[in-house]
Structure 1
Amino acid sequence: MSKLGTALLYWHTLKYLRARQVFGRIWLRIARPRVDGAPAAPRRGTSGRWVTPARRPASMTGPESFLFLNEPGDLDALGWEGPQRSHLWRYNQHYFDDLNAEGAAERLSWHHALMQRWIAENPPATGTGWDPYPTSLRIVNWIKHALTVADLPREAQQSLAVQARWLARRLEWHLLGNHLFANAKALLFASFFFEGREAERWRRRAVSILRAQLPEQILPDGGHFELSPMYHALAIEDLADMVNLIAAFGTAATPAEAALARDFAARLPGMLEWLDAMSHPDGRIAFFNDATFGIAPATPRLKEYAHRLGVAAVPVRDGLIHLEDTGFARLERGAAILICDIGNVGPDYLPGHAHADTLSFELSLGDERVVVNSGTSEYGLSAERLRQRGTAAHSTVLVGAENSSEMWSGFRVARRARVDNVATAETAEALSLCARHDGYSRFPLGPRHTRRWRLDEDRLTITDQLEPSAAGEARYHLPPGVAATISGPETGTIRLASGRILNWRANGASAHVEPSTWHPGFGMSQPAQCLAVSFSGSVTFDLDFS
C-alpha cells in the first residue's frame, strides 16, 4: 500500500474516535501509577442472599494444567507469559474462570494453590495478568468464588485489594465499550467486598461509569451495542452478576445503588429476548461479528441464573421481529428460522469486534442449520483473523473480492458500509425484508447492494441487486455435514445432515461449490462448503423446503 493509501486508512479509522479514547491512550502510555500494597480493609459481611452464578464448563484439567480456547497447556511448561500461546490464551490463564465453573468445589485445593502461585509469580503491575481487562475479570471471579464456594486465602484477600487499587488507576478509557464496563463491574464488586472509605471511593467511581454506560451499551431493543451475540451474552452475565451482588450486600447499598440494580434487572428480560431472537432452534447463538461458542455461558445457563434472581425470560414470538436499534431481523415461518444482519457494523468509535458481514444471514430448518456465517476461531493480527472478518467468509454478496467494510489489522475498520432503505412486511402468505448498503460505493463506479428476503412456508427467495450493474458473487456458507451439489448452471441441491434434500435455483447466474471452513469455537476449524453464485447486475436465488 502507498504512503497515501496508508494515511487514508488511518484517517478513515481514527476520525471516528472520541476525544476520551485519544487522551485515554496517551494517559495509559505515560502514566506510571504507584502500586499500593497497604493492608486490605476488613471484608464486609453479606446481609442478603447470594445465588449461584451461571456456570461454565471447567477449564482446569489438573492442578496446574488448563484447556483454554480448545488448546491445552501446562503451567510448569508454559509459565504465565511468553509466545508459546496466543495473547488471548494468556488472558484466559489470568481470568481464573474455573473458580466458578461446573464442579468448582471439587477443585478447591487446586484453586487456592493456583491463587497463591499466581500471587508469588506475578508481582504487582508486572506482565499480562495486570492488564486492566484480565485484572477486572480476575477480581470478579475471586470475589464470586468467595461468595459461592469458600473464603479466600489470607494472601489472596490482600492481593485482591492491591489489584482493585491498581485497576482504579488503569481504567480503559482508551477502549470504552465492554472493557470499561468490565472495569467498572470489578470496582463495584471490590467496593462491596471490602469495608471502608477506599471501597466507598471505588463504588462511587463504578456507579458513575455504569450509570453513564448502561443506556449507551444496552440499546432499546435489548441488544448490546457491539452487535455480537457472544458479547451480548457476556453482558447479560455482567448485569445479572451485579444484581446478585447488590442483593447480597443489600443493607450496604445506597438508594442510588439499589436503583441501579433495579435498572439492571429491568433490562434483563429484554436482553434475554434479544438473545433468543439471535439464536437458532438448537438453542445456540448465530455467528454475526465476533461470535462463537464456548466463551459466554450457554443460553440455558443464563436463563437459569436469571430465574434464580427472580427475572423471568420472555419467550421470543414467531413471525417477523425487527430489532431496529441493533440492526438485525428474525423471520420465522413454519420450521424455518432466518436471522439477517441489516444494520451498520457497530458503534463508530468502537468497531473492533465487527466483521464485514452486512446483509448476511443464517438459516435453520428445525434443529438443523442450513446456511451460516463462518464464525470466529482466533483474535490477533494473523491473515486468518483478517480472512474470517472479511465479506467472503459470510453469507452475503462479494464484489470484486473486496470487503463491504474496510477491515484491517485484528480489530480495525476504516470505511464502513452504511445501511438504508430497510423495509419489512408480514402477511398471511409470507414474511419479507429488504435493505441496502453502500459499502462498495467507495470504489470507482462501485455499486450499492440491495438484498430482499422472502420467507414462505416452504421456500426462501433471495434477490440481490447491484446498482449500477456490476459483477457480484452471492455466497452461501454451509455448516459441516451439509453438502451442495450442482445439477445444472442454475440448479442444484443441498443435502442436510439428516439426509433431507433441498432444491435450489439461481436464475440468470452460474454457481460452483468451493471448500470452506466453519469455526464453532476458538482454536477450531471444521471443513465445510460454500455455494458461490456468480451474477451480473441481479440474481434471484430460490431454496425450496418442500
Structure 2
Amino acid sequence: MSLADKPQIAVLTIQEAWRRLRRRLRNGPIHRLRFSGVGPDRLAVVPPTLYQGDPFIAEAIYGGRFLFAGRLVEAGRASIFQLAPPTPEFAAELHGFSWLSHHAAAADALAAQNARALVSDWLRYSAGRLGGVAFEPEVTARRVIAWLSHADLLLGSAEYDFYRRFLKSLTIQTRYLRSIAQEAPVGMPRLTVRMALALATHCLPGPASRMRASAQQLADELDRQILPDGGHVSRDPAALATILGDLLPIRETLQGQGQPVPKGIYSAIDRMLPALRFFRHTDGTLALFNGTGCSNMQLMAALMRFDETLGEPLSNARHSGYHRLASGSTVVIADTGCPPPVALSRNAHAGTLAFELSSAAARIVVNCGSPQAGQAALKRVSRSTAAHSTVTIGDRSSSRFAGQPHLDRFLGSPLVPGPTGVELEEIVGEGDRTTGFEATHDGYDRDLGYLHSRRLELENDGWTLTGLDRLTATRRSRAREEAREAALRFHLHPQVSVETIGDIARLSLRGQIWRFTVDQPFTIEDSILFADSSGPRRTLQIVVSVDPGLTPEIAWSFERLS
C-alpha cells in the first residue's frame, strides 16, 4: 500500500471504528432494556420464500454434521451453539439460519422437529448476548428473514412454550435491528437490515405508521444502492440475485396484506430484473466479476419468472460499468468500469477490462470467480488481476489491496482503486457485420507508466470474436524495469479441452469446436476455477507473454468452427 493510498484507508478505518463504537454503546445494559417486552401472540402473515433447499443437507444436519463456509463441524451430542465455531464465516452462516430452507425442502415431521430443536437451542444458548457474530447487523437480519420465511415449518406443530419464546425473540431482534439500522455497514449489510425490518414490521402485528415507515425506509435505501441501470453500487452481479430473492417476497407480502408498496420498491425491482438478465450467460449462470461465485440456479430460475420485460438486455450498463455483446448464441460480458468506492469494495476484484465468453449453453472464457465464504487465502488470489481474463503488467494487479492482516480483519481488505477512469467507445463494424467496443483504463499508469486498451468485436452470426490489446507508454516510470513483462490471460472453463496445433489452439466443448489464434507465441498453463459448487476446480488458461516496450499490441481471435 503506497503513501497515496494511506489517507483513504485511514479515513475508512476511523469510520469503521466509530461505527463499531456506536453499535457497542447501543448494546449496553441500559439500551438492552428497550428491546425487551411482551411479544405478540401470533404472526400477522407468513411471507413466501424463493429459496429452495436440499433435503440431503437437512439429513446431514439432523445427524449433527454442519458444513458451513467450507468447514465441517460434527456436533455429536452437544448443541452446535455450545461449540466454538472454527471461523467467523462459519458462525455467520450458522447464526443466519438460511439453512432452514433445507429442512423446509425435506417437508416431513422429523425435519420440522429438528428445525425447532435447533432454534430452541439458539434461544437457550445465544439469544441472551447481544454481541458477537450472532448479532452483527447483517447476520441478525438474515436470521429474522429466515425465521419469518419458515415460520410455518417452525410453528406448525410447536408447543405453546416454544411458540411464545420464538415470537418474543423475533420481537426483540426486530427492535434491536431498528435501533442499529443506521450503524450497519454501508452497502449490502445496511440494505439487508432494511429488508428484514420491512418484512418483520408487516409480519409482526404493530401500528400501521410503523409499517409504512419501514417500507419507505427500504425504498429510500434501494434508491441509494440500486443504480439507474439496475446494477448494485458494489458492482457485484450476484448482489442482484440476493437482493431480489428477499425483495420480491417483501413486495408480495405487502400486496397480500393490501398495504401500499412504495414507488422506490417497484422501481428498484423493475430495474434489477433486466440487469440480472444482462449478467446471465447462455447457460443461465452469472458472469464472474467483483465477488460473484457459483450461481444458485434454482433461485435464478425463480427470479426469471418475475421478469416481464421483453427484448434483449442493453449492451452498455453505463452506470454499473459493464458491456455486453450478444449475437446468435454467443454472449460476451466485459468489465468496463472503475472499481466501486473504497467503503464498498470488500469483495471487489481488480478485473478492469476482463471479459467472459459463452456460446450455446457452454462457458468458454471465464474469470476465476469468488470462492465459498471462509477461504481467505483463496479469496485474495481470486481478486487479483491475474485471476481474470485480461492483461497484467509486471505481475501486478490493476487495482491495489489494503493487504495487511490487521486491516483484513478490521476492514475486510478494501480495494484501493487503480483505474480512476475508463474511456469507452462503441464500435459498429462495416456493413453492421460486427458490434463491439474499445475501452482504456489507467490502472497501471501511476506505478508502471502504461495505459491498457482493449478492443472487442463480435460478428453478428456470433461465430467470431476478435480482440486487440494495446499497452501505451505514457511517461518514463521509475518502475519501468518491473514492466518489462506483460501477460494476457484467457482462463478457460473446466469443460473446455485444449489441443495445440502449431500456432493455434483448438478448443472442444459440448459439441462445439473453437479455434484460438494470436499474433504472438502463447502457452497453455494451469488455472483454477474458484466459483464451483463442489469447490475449486483445476482448469487451463491460455497465456501470451510479451515485453510491452517491444510489443505494444496483441491481436487475437476466437472463431467457432462447428
Distance 2:362 2:48 in 1: 35
Match of residue 309 from structure 1: none
Partner SS for 1:496: strand
> 1:503, 1:545 within 8 Å by CA — same for their partners in 2?
yes
What is the root-mean-square deviation in Å for CA atoms of aligned residues? 2.9
Match of residue 146 from structure 2: 141
The letter of the residue matching 2:535 is M
Distance 1:517 1:162 in 2: 45
Aligned runs of 1:10-49 on 2, under 5 Å?
Answer: 10-15=6-11, 17=12, 23-34=18-29, 35=32, 36-46=35-45
Aligned runs of 1:284-363 on 2, under 5 Å?
Answer: 284-293=285-294, 298-304=299-305, 306=306, 312-315=307-310, 317=312, 321-363=315-357
Distance 1:42 1:88 in 2: 34
Q: What is the identity percentage for the equivalent residue pairs of Structure 1 and Structure 2?
A: 25
Distance 1:74 1:437 in 2: 49
- What is the number of equivalent residue pairs in this alignment? 519
Q: Is 2:243 aligned against 1:243?
A: no
Q: Is 2:525 aligned against 1:514?
A: yes
Q: CA deviation at 1:282?
A: 0.8
Q: CA deviation at 1:271?
A: 1.5
Match of residue 441 from structure 1: 445
> 2:194, 2:221 within 8 Å by CA — same for their partners in 1?
no
Distance 2:423 2:134 in 1: 46
Aligned runs of 1:328-407 on 2, under 5 Å?
Answer: 328-379=322-373, 382-407=376-401
Cα 1:33/1:433, change in 2 over 3 Å: same
Match of residue 476 from structure 1: 490
Q: CA deviation at 1:195?
A: 2.7
Aligned runs of 1:93-108 on 2, under 5 Å?
Answer: 93-101=94-102, 103=105, 105-106=107-108, 107-108=111-112
Distance 1:438 1:429 in 2: 30
The letter of the residue matching 1:420 is V
Partner SS for 1:364: strand
1:527 pairs with 534, 538, 541, which one? 538
2:553 pairs with 538, 543, 546, which one? 538
Deviations 1:360-407 (A, max 9, x none): 011012111110000111445833221111000000110001110112
**What TM-score do you get using the length of structure 2 for normalisation?**
0.84
1:227 pairs with 221, 235, 249, which one? 235
> 1:358, 1:437 within 8 Å by CA — same for their partners in 2?
yes
> 2:219, 2:265 within 8 Å by CA — same for their partners in 1?
no
Question: Which stretch shifts more, 324-333 or 18-27?
Answer: 18-27
Distance 1:148 1:314 in 2: 34
Match of residue 66 from structure 1: 66
Aligned runs of 1:195-206 on 2, under 5 Å?
Answer: 195-196=205-206, 203=211, 206=214
Partner SS for 2:315: strand
Match of residue 419 from structure 2: 417
> 1:136, 1:186 within 8 Å by CA — same for their partners in 2?
yes
> 1:400, 1:472 within 8 Å by CA — same for their partners in 2?
yes
- Structure 2 alignment gaps of length 5 or more: 475-482
Cα 1:88/1:81, change in 2 over 3 Å: farther
Q: Is 2:142 aligned against 1:131?
A: no
Partner SS for 1:495: strand
- Structure 1 alignment gaps of length 5 or more: 307-311
Match of residue 507 from structure 2: 495
Distance 1:149 1:79 in 2: 18
Partner SS for 2:399: coil
Match of residue 454 from structure 2: 451
Cα 1:524/1:44, change in 2 over 3 Å: closer
> 2:90, 2:374 within 8 Å by CA — same for their partners in 1?
no
Partner SS for 1:53: coil
Deviations 1:487-520 (A, max 9, x none): 44xx22142233533222211x221111111022
Distance 1:7 1:205 in 2: 44
Q: CA deviation at 1:39?
A: 1.8
Deviations 1:270-290 (A, max 9, x none): 312211111111111111111
2:516 pairs with 486, 504, 507, which one? 504
Cα 1:462/1:80, change in 2 over 3 Å: farther
Question: Which stretch shifts more, 429-438 or 26-35?
Answer: 26-35
Distance 1:413 1:113 in 2: 42
> 2:382, 2:530 within 8 Å by CA — same for their partners in 1?
no
> 2:96, 2:139 within 8 Å by CA — same for their partners in 1?
yes
Distance 1:295 1:88 in 2: 19
Question: Which stretch shifts more, 468-477 or 146-155?
Answer: 146-155
> 1:172, 1:183 within 8 Å by CA — same for their partners in 2?
no
Cα 1:381/1:317, change in 2 over 3 Å: closer
Deviations 1:97-128 (A, max 9, x none): 23344525322111111111111111321442
Match of residue 212 from structure 1: 220
> 2:364, 2:492 within 8 Å by CA — same for their partners in 1?
yes
Distance 1:432 1:159 in 2: 55
> 1:482, 1:495 within 8 Å by CA — same for their partners in 2?
yes
Cα 1:227/1:62, change in 2 over 3 Å: same
Cα 1:220/1:341, change in 2 over 3 Å: same
